[in-house]
A and B are shown apart, each in its own frame.
Chain A
């Protein structure tokens, strides 16, 4: 029943709006910030191997939109470009979904598989199938205590508990008395292990606080509420870079004197460290994890090498980034690779 007249009436405001936008775009460029002020940043490149192309599947438990996994993937891509490797990346946060992806890679007869072991039990069977198909499998990021039991070649990552312990010790030397450990995803094992590690070595009191990680305003008000409720808290420990930046705002909102420490880095965090709004970060070098996982499979195929001798995990962290060394790291973080 729609005649054409209401349609044409609808077009007028659309055209007007488009024109307005075009005019604004033409006349309103920003004189500061923006892309123009950032130099074009390319990742590290080191030529290309002349070995025949091989295919490697990198399968993680990443949930979409996490800045951390983005860096892992960039490292893997850099190694793949250098080694003449065709990299197939896939991810599924559910254990069953990840196992299916591994099966998928076996069916495709890839030359190597790199996986994260967030839920090792669920991946046990499918790793055995890969081994039976003579496809080498390496582990990265999570599963530092399980990779050998599952028959993986080698492992690259950080022991979350060890990283937590390192942060706890650092709090001791900073003279902290009471820390709150902010978990952004209830029920995540790796995150819980970090807080447990802190609790183990920190001689003061450690309390856990859960926040809703998909909603920043609620993260902000929940940390503010905690700092108001317990004025004795002198350190806020977050488990991801974006949350550290928000925690900095909560500290000033609550009029608290607490300092902020965090796990993991990104480029905004490095500038927060140089400005002093965040005290320090524990970096597990995710770029290195992705890079080494792919590079090691290439080395294994072409030269039969095992990193860590196939016996010990290759640790990529914990490395501390604070005011003293942040400048050296900042340039790499700006490229999204550190």
Chain B
């Protein structure tokens, strides 16, 4: 849908196609091209286009409260899309990320309820479990050399079954018990699921966390040694190892980072809705991956950014809620989302090719 925005730079490219005329290493390429080489530019323009489009077609979107609602939906996707994107830049992906969120919430809820403990006990235990799942994924991958598709598909199925079976075994039901009257709940809710007011609009705290995490991830990726390692192991594992990058550590820690994200979103769901249903979360992993891919992260690894997936998640939230705000027939939602995904990936591909051509 935002193809039109990219038509202009394409016209200005012809001079760049004569590589032999000057020493290619020192020429300053046009500003537009240098901008386009950033992986997040395609998705930024796409998100902008979608936003403007719904501003025009859906009047309620113009209200600040609606924007807060859209950003809330985006943030719950976006917080997970960040570590998923880093993992993808590191050359792997995680199919268990969706159900892992529910595993974390179930652990926290059932542990504190069954033992009648302060909910923080459950929250910490859930963090340990989530990091453990990430560590298991990474360890399996590194030790066996299997593709991440197989390893995390296995974990996905295991967690899906365990979520249901253990919940049933412990609570006797397929959903957890309400923990909202327990010690520490209000405190935890403040951190994971509260909202505050800006100019009369209720803003959910997850939006703040989302942006904080995005800033943190950007800094790590662009300014730290660890960030370089991520790009290196995603680009070429063997040459990364040859120049001294700790490949095993980087891969396992990236999976654990996804575990951390799953924990955080899981805690949000638990403290926002008081109970958790064991069957939830299935299919969410694909939405996180899609947000990262729309955000300019290559499925093959080695390229991407942390800010791109922020726009990717925003695009998801915007389209999903925009269709409702516009009052359109929601039957088409998934189809529309699919078209958008393909469109965004094509734009990214085209932008990358244009920008890297000399």
Residues of A within 8 A of B (CB): 17, 20-21, 24-25, 28-38, 63-67, 69-70, 186, 208-210, 212-218, 220-222, 224-226, 228-230, 242, 245-246, 249, 253-255, 266, 268, 271, 336
Instruction: A33 to B172: give the CA distance in the assembly, Å.
Output: 18
Residue B163 lies at the interface, judged by CB distance under 8 Å to chain A: yes
State how many angstroms separate the Cβ of A192 from the closest Cβ of chain B. 11
Q: Interface residues of B, CB < 8 Å — how many? A: 68
What mask results when residues 146 to 184 of chain B are scored 1 for a CB within 8 Å of chain A, else 0?
Answer: 000000000000001001100110001111011111111
Nearest B residue to A63 via CB reads B279
Instruction: Tell whether B269 is near chain A: CB-to-CB under 8 Å.
Output: yes
Interface centre among B167, B177, B178, B180 (most CB of A within 10 A): B177
Is A70 in contact with B69, judged by CB distance below 8 angstroms? no
* CB–CB B124/A21 < 8 A: yes
Q: 10 pairs across A/B with beta carbons < 8 Å? A: A17-B128, A28-B118, A30-B116, A33-B178, A67-B173, A69-B174, A212-B283, A222-B324, A228-B65, A268-B178
**Please, what's the 1-or-0 string for B241-282, where 1 marks a CB less than 8 Å from any CB in chain A?**
000000000000000000000000000110011110111111
Q: Known pairs A34-B112, A66-B174. 7 more at Cβ < 8 A?
A: A28-B117, A29-B116, A30-B184, A70-B168, A186-B331, A221-B70, A228-B63
B274 adjacent to A268 (CB under 8 Å): yes
B325 near A: Cβ within 8 Å? yes
Q: A34-B182, A65-B278 are in contact. Are A28 and B120 (CB under 8 A)?
A: yes
Q: Is B334 an interface residue (CB 8 A)?
A: yes
Is the Cβ of B117 less than 8 Å from the Cβ of A29?
Answer: yes
Interface SS of chain A: helix
* Contact B183–A67 (Cβ < 8 Å): no
Chain A residue numbers with a CB within 8 Å of B164 are 64-65
Candidate in A29, A216, A249 with the most chain B CB atoms within 10 angstroms: A216
Shortest distance in angstroms between A25's beta carbon and chain B's nearest beta carbon? 6
Asked if residues B325 and A242 are in contact (CB atoms below 8 Å), the reply is no
Residues of chain B within 8 A (CB-CB) of A209 are 324, 330
Q: Is the CB of B324 within 8 A of A229?
A: yes
Chain B contact residues: over half helix, strand or loop, or mixed? helix
Verify B175–A266 contact, CB threshold 8 A. yes
A32 touches B181 (CB 8 A): yes
Complex contacts, B202 vs chain A, CB 8 Å: 253
Contact between chains at B121 and A25 (CB < 8 Å)? yes
Task: Please tell me if the beta carbons of A38 and B177 are within 8 angstroms of each other in the complex.
Answer: yes
Asked if B320 contacts A218 (CB within 8 A), the reply is yes
Q: Given contacts A64-B160, A217-B73, are A336 and B172 in contact (CB under 8 A)?
A: yes
State in angstroms the CA–CA spacing of A228 and B67 once bound together: 11
Chain B positions within 8 Å of A, measured between CB atoms, are 58, 60, 63, 65-66, 69-70, 72-73, 76, 112-121, 124-125, 128, 160, 163-164, 167-168, 172-175, 177-185, 202, 268-269, 272-275, 277-284, 287, 317, 320-321, 324-327, 330-331, 333-334
A6 to chain B, nearest CB (A): 9
Residues of A close to B168: CB separation below 8 A: 70
Chain A residues with Cβ under 8 A from B167's Cβ? Answer: 65
Contact of A242 among B121, B128, B277 (CB under 8 A): B277
Instruction: For the complex formed, measure the closest distance between the CB of B344 and the CB atoms of chain A, giving whole angstroms.
Output: 19
B76 touches which one: A20, A33, A218 (CB < 8 A)?
A: A218
Measured between C-beta atoms, what is the minimum distance from A22 to chain B in Å?
Answer: 10
With known contacts A17-B128, A24-B121, A229-B325, A30–B183 Cβ distance under 8 A: yes
B283 touches A214 (CB 8 A): yes
- Inter-subunit contact A29/B69 (CB<8 Å): no
Q: Tell whether, in the assembled complex, residue B334 and residue A32 are in contact, meaning their CB atoms are under 8 Å apart.
A: no
- Given A25-B121, A221-B70, A221-B73; A34-B325 close (CB under 8 Å): no
Contacts of A224 in B (CB 8 A): 69
- A129 vs B343: C-alpha distance when bound (angstroms): 50
Known contacts A32-B181, A268-B274; A226 and B324 CB within 8 A of each other: yes
Q: In angstroms, how far is the closest chain A Cβ from the Cβ of B93?
A: 19
Q: Bound complex: CA of A116 vs CA of B327, how far in Å?
A: 35
Instruction: Check B284–A30 contact: CB distance below 8 A.
Output: no
Contact A246 B175 (CB under 8 A): no
Query: Roughly how many angstroms separate A37 CA and B178 CA in the complex, as a whole number?
Result: 12
Neighbour of A225 across the interface among B113, B114, B124, B321, CB < 8 A: B321
